[in-house]
A and B are shown apart, each in its own frame.
Chain A
Amino acid sequence: MDTVLPRHKSRGEANLPGRLPAGHMRAAGRARGTLLVVLLALPLLLYLAGPIVGLMARTTPSVWQSYVCCWQAASALRLSLVTASIALIVVIIIGTPVAYWLAHHDFRGKGAIDTLIDLPLVLPPAAAGFALLLLFGKQGLGAWLQAHDLRISLTPLAVVMAQVFVASPFYVKQARAGFEAVPRDLRLASATLGAGPARTFLRVTAPLASPALLAGAVMTWARALGEFGATLVFAGAFPGRTETMPIAIYTTSTTNLPAAIALACTLVIVSFAVLVVTREIAGRRLRISLAP
C-alpha cells in the first residue's frame, strides 16, 4: 500500500520537539529513496542522451534545410519507414508461430533452435549481409530465381529481407516470453469450453500476451529502421531504390559530414516520435483493456 492514511499515533510515533510527524518522515524517506534511484539511473540516461544532444547541437537550420529537404533524403526516409513496416509485418507473420511453438512445446533440439534465433543478434550485420547475398544471390538460389524472373539481391526486396533477418529475434524472444506467461489453465479452460486451438489462441493466448507482442513489435520495427550493414551488402545503396536512411547517412558522411549529421538528426527525431506515440497509444489501450 503506497497511500498512508492518517491514524492514531502510537507512543513511538508521538511528535517530539524538533522532529517531523511520522507520516512526514515516511514521505521524506520515500523521497530520499526516489532521489537515490534517480541518481543511480542518471549515468546511463546521460550516456544515452549525451551523444544525441551532441548530434543535434552540431546541426544548424541552414544545413538542415539544404540537405534534409532534398528529394534524396525524403526518399531514403520514406524507404526506411515503408521497408521497416513491411519487415515488421513479415516478422509477426512468420515469427509468431515459432514463438508459440517454443513457448508451449518441449522437444529435443529446442536449445539449438533457441540459439539459432539468437544468432542474428551476435552475427555482425555485414556478415549477415554476405550470408544472405551468397544464399539468395547468383552464387546460390539467385541463379535459379533469376532464371524465373525474380531478382532478390540488390533490390528493395533485399532491404526487407535483411531487416527481417537482423530484427526477427527481438520479436520472437518477446513473443515467446509473452506466450509462456499465459497460464496453462486458462488455455485448458478455453478448450474445455469448446474453443478450438485457433479460437483459444485468438481469444485467450494472444490477448493476454499482447503487451509482450507489442513490445517485441516496437523493438523489431526500431531495429529494422536502424539496419545498416546487412542491407548495404545484400541490397546495395541505390538512391531511391535501396538506399535507406542509415545507408544515406553513411554514403553522405564520406564527403559531407554536416549533411550526414542532419540526416542522422532527422532519423532520430522521426523514430523517437514514432516510438513515443506508439508506446503512448499502445500503453493507453493496454491499460483500458487490462482494467478490471
Chain B
Amino acid sequence: MLSNLRWAVLLLGILLVAGCAAKEAPESRTGTPAAPGATGEKVRLIAFVGAASKPPTTEAKEAFEQATPNIVVDISFGGSGTLLNQMTLEETGDIYMPGSNDYMDKAEEKNAVAVETRKIVAYLIPMICVQHGNPKNIQSLKDLARPGVTVGLAKAGAVCLGDVADGVLRGAGLEEEVKKNVITYAGSCDQTQQLVQLGEVDAVIGWDAFKHWAPDEIDVVPIAREHLQVRNIPAAISTYAEHREAAQQFIDFLTSKEGKEIFSKHGYSVTPPQI
C-alpha cells in the first residue's frame, strides 16, 4: 500500500524533471542571453513598472538590451501602489515607472525616487470610450448625461483615472447629471476599460490608449480641449538604486526617439496635447 506514496513521489519527480528539462526559453525574442547567472559581468537592473505599460516596456527592454548588451533589465509588473510598497519595504529596485504621475508624486513624498531623475515617458489623455460602432451615438460629455445611457467611471480617490474623470466632468459642469447614469465604479484603469470592452456599460471615461488595447471592441470620442486634464507615465531612478548609471541609460532610452516610437506604436501619446 505504501506504493501509493511512492507513486505520488514519482509523479512529482516526473513533473519537476519535465519542468526543469523543458527547453530553456530565451530571455527575449531578440536573442539576449537568458538565465540568471549566465550573464557574467552584466549589470542587472530591477525596474518596477505599472502593469498597463507591460507591452511597450517589454518591447523597449528587449530593444535596450540588444543595444546595450552589458545591461539586463528585470521588470516586475503590477499595480503602481503595490510596486511602490514592495520597493520601499524592500529598499530595492533601480527604476520606478508607475501607471501615472500621481504615484510618482507619492514616491517622491516617501523619498523613494530621486526627484531630479524624473522624466515623462508618455502622456495619458482622457477620452470617452464607447462600444465599437458607437451604438448610442455619444459625441460629447453632454451625451453621457442622456437618459438611457449607462456609464462606468474609475473610482475617484483610488484610481488616478477616477480623479481625472471627476475633474473633467466638474470642469464641464456635468458631474451631477452624468453621475446619475453611472452604474458602476471600477477599481483600476484596466477594469474601467474592460467595463466597456465587455459591454457592461455604454461608455466610460478612459485613457486614449484603451482604443489600442481593444481596437475591435472600443471606439474613442475626444473630449473638448477646454475640459481636458492630462496625466503622464513618468519614470525615475529609485533612491535604493545600486546601478544609477545603467538605470539612467534605460530611462534615457525610454524617452529617446526609439523609445517614444515603441510607446507610440502601442497607442500611447508621446507628445503633450495642445490645450
Contacts and interface: CB of A to CB of B under 8 A. Distances in A.
Nearest to A71: B25
Contact of A153 (B2, B20, B90): B90
Contact of A202 (B2, B25, B90): B2
B230 to A, nearest CB: 20
Contacts of B27: 240
A237 B76 CA distance: 5
Interface stretch (B5-13, B111-119, B120-128, B219-227): B5-13
A154 B93 CA distance: 10
A138 B26 CA distance: 31
Contacts of B85: 130, 233
Given A133-B86, A240-B25, A254-B51, A208 B190 contact: no
B194 interface: yes
B25 A74 contact: yes
Contacts of B25: 71-72, 74-75, 78, 240
Nearest to B86: A236
Nearest to B1: A207
B185 interface: no
A82 interface: yes
B109 to A, nearest CB: 19
Given A74-B25, A238-B74, A239-B75, A210 B90 contact: no
Interface string B49-83: 00110110010000000000000001111100010
A289 B26 CA distance: 45
From A85, A202, A214, residue with most partner B Cβ within 10 Å: A85
A141 to B, nearest CB: 13
From B16, B25, B46, residue with most partner A Cβ within 10 Å: B25
Interface residues of A, number: 58
A250 B7 contact: no
Contacts of B19: 78-79, 81-82, 85
A285 B6 CA distance: 11
B36 interface: yes
B90 A81 contact: no
Contacts of B74: 238, 241
B275 interface: no
Contacts of A240: 25, 27, 34
A256 to B, nearest CB: 6
A232 B16 contact: no
A238 B77 CA distance: 7
Nearest to B76: A236
B22 A210 contact: no
Nearest to A70: B29
A1 B76 CA distance: 61
B4 interface: yes
Interface in A66-116: 70-72, 74-75, 78-79, 81-82, 85-86, 88-89
Interface string A205-247: 0111011011001000000000000001100111111110000
A278 interface: yes
B38 interface: no
A122 interface: no
Nearest to B2: A207
Contact of A282 (B4, B22, B78): B4
A257 B15 contact: no
Given A134-B89, A250-B51, A256-B213, A282 B20 contact: no
Contacts of B18: 81
Interface string B201-220: 00000000000011000000
A48 B125 CA distance: 40
A139 interface: yes
A169 interface: no
A255 B8 contact: no
Given A85-B12, A286-B4, 5 more contacts: A78-B25, A138-B91, A207-B4, A251-B78, A254-B54
6 contacts: A138-B90, A213-B5, A237-B77, A240-B25, A281-B11, A285-B3
